[in-house]
Amino acid sequence: MNERKEPIPVTVVGLGAMGMALASAFLAAGHPTTVWNRSAGKADDLVAAGAARAATITEALTASPLVITCLLDYPVLHQVLDPSGGALAGRTLVNLTNGTPEQARETATWAARHDVGYLDGGIMAVPAMIGRPEALVLYSGSQAAFNQHEQTLNRMGGSRYVGADPGSASLYDLALLSAMYGQFAGARHALALVGTENADLPEFTSSLLIPWLTATMIGLPVLAQQDTAQDSDSPSGMQAVAIANIVDASNAQGVDGDLLSHLLIPMRDLIGRRAAGRSLDDLVDLINRPEQGK
């Protein structure tokens, strides 16, 4: 008969909106939770909900075998942890601070010097999603640490281990955010364009925009398999013309030109070498009068 494991103690360092959500998820799952923040008052609601407030960062780090950090950036992370790094010896540090792959690798080296099991993570969720099945957190670094604490980490959302390189989670996190921001830029432009005719934007979004963007996801596997080194001098003329028409229509409708910036690189890719050094309007002229590029 399998014995049910008691929830292990967890420390959460950093109580911004995301840190608060993380600590709340552990409390809701029954984990003894210690919290610490440079502004101590940020912990008041969590303490009222059952968390223990650490008086010092050293007290916070030694309170639990699993320490979660979620701070503004890596400089702040090291300002907080470096003076008390020795207190982490023999524990697992899961760093969910957003940063670059190189910062993650440097922090993993720092952790190894202090005999600390290290996982770097990327949170693919907003605070309101934490603790729910749709939240996803990426992890990289120590496979042993991930295996040991996976059940506990799942309290924050679905967990996915993406490799032993501590920088992998940051790399994947930033790549996914880049895709999201690009999609948001295109969606914002779409809403601005349709909005020039006083369209019902909520209806357009729910009945057309979201289903269309969802349907286009089917093409991503093909995009991932393409040889990005292939010559682009033979572009899809239809796509190039469509993008040029989007630009022309947007200008005619008085849409802010800054909202068109997401079209510049796709248009350059479609036209190829002839696009070098040209502005968006120049590229439209090149499509409309292709003899200019010869």
State pLDDT tens for residues 209-256.
999 999 888 877 766 666 544 444 444 677 888 888 898 999 999 999
For residues 70-83, average pLDDT: 96
* Integer Cα distance of 73 and 120 in angstroms: 13
Kindly provide the b/e burial profile for residues 222-255, where b requires at least 16 CB atoms within 10 angstroms of the residue's own CB. eeeeeeeeeeeeebeeeebeebbebbeebeeeeb
For residues 141-151, average pLDDT: 98
Look at residue 22 in the predicted model and tell me its pLDDT.
98
pLDDT greater than 70 at residue 184: yes
Look at residue 262 in the predicted model and tell me its pLDDT.
87
Instruction: Give the model's confidence band at 139: pLDDT under 50 very low, under 70 low, under 90 confident, else very high.
Output: very high
* Integer Cα distance of 161 and 138 in angstroms: 6
Look at residue 47 in the predicted model and tell me its pLDDT.
98
Look at residue 264 in the predicted model and tell me its pLDDT.
84
CATH 1.10.1040.10, the chain: domain bounds: 173-293
Look at residue 223 in the predicted model and tell me its pLDDT.
64
For residues 101-126, average pLDDT: 97
For residues 167-188, average pLDDT: 93
* Integer Cα distance of 127 and 20 in angstroms: 8
Name the CATH superfamily, with its identifier, for domain 173-293: N-(1-d-carboxylethyl)-l-norvaline Dehydrogenase; domain 2 (1.10.1040.10)
Token pair in block for residue 282: 């120049």
Choices 3.30.70.270, 3.30.70.1230, 3.40.50.720, 3.20.20.100: CATH for 10-164: 3.40.50.720
Give strand ranges (E) for 101-227: 117-124, 136-141, 158-161
CATH 3.40.50.720, the chain: domain bounds: 10-164
The alpha carbon of 107 is separated from its chain's Cα centroid by a whole number of angstroms, namely: 19
